[in-house]
Amino acid sequence: MTASTTGLEGLRSYVDGDHLGGGDPLRVTDPATLSTVAEVPTAGVADFERAVLAARRAFDRGDWPGIPAAERAAVVLRFVAALEARREHLGETVVAETGALVASARGVQVDGALGQARDAVRIHASLPEEEHNPVPLDALVTGGRVATSVLTWEPLGVVSAIPAYNVPLFLALWKVVPALLAGNTVVLRPSPLAPLTVLALGAAAKEAGLPPGVLNVLVEQGDAGARLMTTDPRVDAVSFTGSTSVGSAIMAQAAPTLKRVLLELGGKSAGIYLPGAVDRAADGIATVMRAMAGQGCVLQTRVLVPQARKDEVLAQAAERVAALRLGDPRDPETDVGPVISAAQVTRCADHVAAARRHGGRVVTGGRPRPELGGHFFEPTVVDLPDTANPLAQEETFGPVVSVLGYRDVDHAVELANDTVYGLSGGVFGPTEEALAVARRIRAGTVLVNGGYFGAFASSGGWRRSGEWRERGREGIRAYQQAKHLTAVSH
């Protein structure tokens, strides 16, 4: 597939209502075949400066922040509809640039993303723009006069949005739609590893009639533009999804201007299988492999099972995982596709090697598979003796799952919490028992026997997994600031 056959018009950066001309080309590669998907012109630092200026002007002097919320919502719905008209081509492009399985790309990464964008409009409509602040009546009486106390919600201003590569459309819309609904203007910079589906947002914005400067989309080869987005004093907030190390750097870059920083960062999530649910562990491990080849920050890549049944689980997992078919994501028989890059293959191999050096045992997999023609790494299960092993502590972002044994429930909770991360987790077993364990896990989201994933429930990390939350009511309020209004009769 090339840029001319994707069906996605406007595969160029979009600034202040117009597509940019040609910059140095960025070659986007299919991770399954290493063929060129497209070559797109990149934006330079001057283009990013222009985008920030356009967003600042659109917020300070334009109508977007001040028009009624229902009118903004109508424009956002037209924007989503413009993307929905490109649904088929978006799905094809997600497969080509990320290596996602076809069913996942279409059903989850495109249809799911667009559905949640529409749900975000519903959530925003349910939130009051102002609400009475609950102050006791005796506290409101001032000098014989009664004061009113109202809390209003207003936009932050200019938002820099920087999503990751693994689910590019999902992550971009989680940031852009709430920010726009709240009345902000946005500068959006996709990952250079997977920019194509996100670039489609520029064409959709133009078609939907978003005013110039309200949404700007720029792709770059390096990170100079991203640095400007996180340091420029004209930017009021930064929303980033990616690694903890980069998130930490962004927080430092934003600190001098005291921007709001919204971070969804790395994870090393644990899945605890209670004694009544141990038979589900092998399938749970296989599910991690199938989900974007393990490239998901919320995936449960540490599996905790009763020590007495650990060998049994490892044997079942080895059989289940060894049967997974690694290969072309367009083949309906494929279970696990490629990782995004050669660097990611190396990271997987290095993490497995480190696990071995520290006493881990590879039960199945553990090798790169270059003969398959792309960036492939075997689905891998590693038996770990304890959480001191680096594989139990460091995020791999690939099809590598570790299995640890616990003595009792208290020990399981201790192992699950023995990490600097706190993004997600899961507990499997009888509902009441599993819920009680879930309440003890130090993470922003804990799924019990699967749980719910959708626009109406927010997610977000604790500790080194991030700040603030996305989706749900909290995901809208994250792009707003509160103002207290109080008045007494004249």
Contacts for 74 with CB less than 8 Å, ≥ 6 apart: none
Q: Are 339 and 346 in contact (CB under 8 A)?
A: no
Q: Are 481 and 153 in contact (CB under 8 A)?
A: yes
Q: Are 396 and 347 in contact (CB under 8 A)?
A: yes
483 tagged catalytic:
no
Catalytic one of 264, 378, 394, 395: 264
**What are the Cα distances from residue 124, in Å, to 178, 244, 417, 449?**
8, 29, 34, 29
Amino acid identity, residue 392? A
Residue for token pair 């995936």: 299
Of 67, 58, 73, 75, the closest CA to residue 17 belongs to: 58
N- to C-terminal Cα separation, the chain: 69
268 tagged catalytic:
no
264 tagged catalytic:
yes
Of 341, 418, 364, the closest CA to residue 386 belongs to: 418
List the structure tokens of 297: 């920050």
Core vs surface per residue 44-69: b (16+ CB within 10 A) or e:
beebbebbbbbbbbbbeebebbeeee
Catalytic one of 92, 220, 259, 297: 297
Catalytic one of 92, 97, 175, 348: 175
Q: Is 312 exposed, middle or buried (0-12, 13-18, 19+ CB in 10 A)?
A: middle
9 tagged catalytic:
no
- Paired with 270 in beta bridges are 302, 425
Sign of the torsion formed by the C-alpha atoms of 351, 355, 356 and 361: negative
Of 275, 297, 247, the closest CA to residue 398 belongs to: 297
Catalytic machinery residues: 175, 264, 297, 470
